[in-house]
Amino acid sequence: MHNVTLRIILGVIIWGGIVALQVILLAIARFFERTSQQRTWYKLYLIPVLFTCVGAGYYLSRIVVSTRHPDFAGDPAMDILFLATGLLLIVLGNLLHEKMIGETHSERY
C-alpha cells in the first residue's frame, strides 16, 4: 500500500506540473491578446487542459485499481486523447508564436 501511495503522490505532482505548464501557456496567450489587440484564441487552450486532466485522472485511478505495470500508458482511448492534446498544443503554440513574432508563412523564405 505504501508503494501505491507514493506512486499516486508522484503522479499527481508530475501531471500537475504538465497541467501547470499548459495553464501558463494559456495565460501567455491571454496576456498577449489583451495587450496587442490580436486574436490568439486563448480560450481554446482550455481544451488541452481538460483533455490532460481527464487522461491524468484515468491513469491515476489505474494506479489504485490495477496491479499490472505500467499503469501510466497502454490504454488506446487515453493515448489517442493525449495525441489529440499534443497536436492541438502544437497548432495553438505555432499560431501564438507567429502572432507574437509577427511572422507569416510567406516571410519565412
pLDDT in tens, 63-82: 877 666 666 677 888 889 99
How many structural domains does the chain have? 1
Range of the domain at 13: 2-107
Handedness of CA 96, 97, 99, 104 (dihedral sign): negative
Kindly state the average pLDDT of the residues 12-29: 95
CA 107 to CA 3: how far, in whole Å? Answer: 54
% the chain with pLDDT above 70: 85
Kindly state the average pLDDT of the residues 30-37: 93
